[in-house]
Amino acid sequence: MSLTGAGRPRERIASASVNASCAIAGRRRRVAGAATVAVVLGIAGASAAPLASAATVYCSPTGDYCLGAIKRGGVRHLTLRTFSFSGRIQVCVTTPTDRTSCRRFRLRRDGDIWAFDARWSAHFPNDGPGTYRARFRYGGSTLGEPVAFPVR
Give the residue numbers spanning the domain of 106: 3-151
| pLDDT one-digit tens code per residue, 81-115 | 999 999 999 999 999 999 999 999 999 999 999 99
Helix or strand run (H / E) with residue 147:
strand 141-151
Question: Confidence class of residue 55 from pLDDT cuts 50, 70 and 90?
Answer: confident
Range name among 29-43, 110-124, 132-146 with the lowest pLDDT average: 29-43
Q: Give the separation between CA 132 and CA 98, rounded to whole angstroms.
A: 9
The pLDDT score that the predictor gives to residue 139 is: 95
Confidence of residue 12 (pLDDT cuts 50, 70, 90): very low
Q: How many domains does the chain have?
A: 1
CATH of the domain at 32: 2.60.40.10
pLDDT band at 43 (very low <50, low <70, confident <90, very high): very low
Q: Where are the strands (E) in 8-129, listed by range?
A: 8-9, 57-59, 65-72, 75-82, 88-94, 100-106, 108-110, 113-119
- Residue 136 pairs in a beta bridge with 91, 143
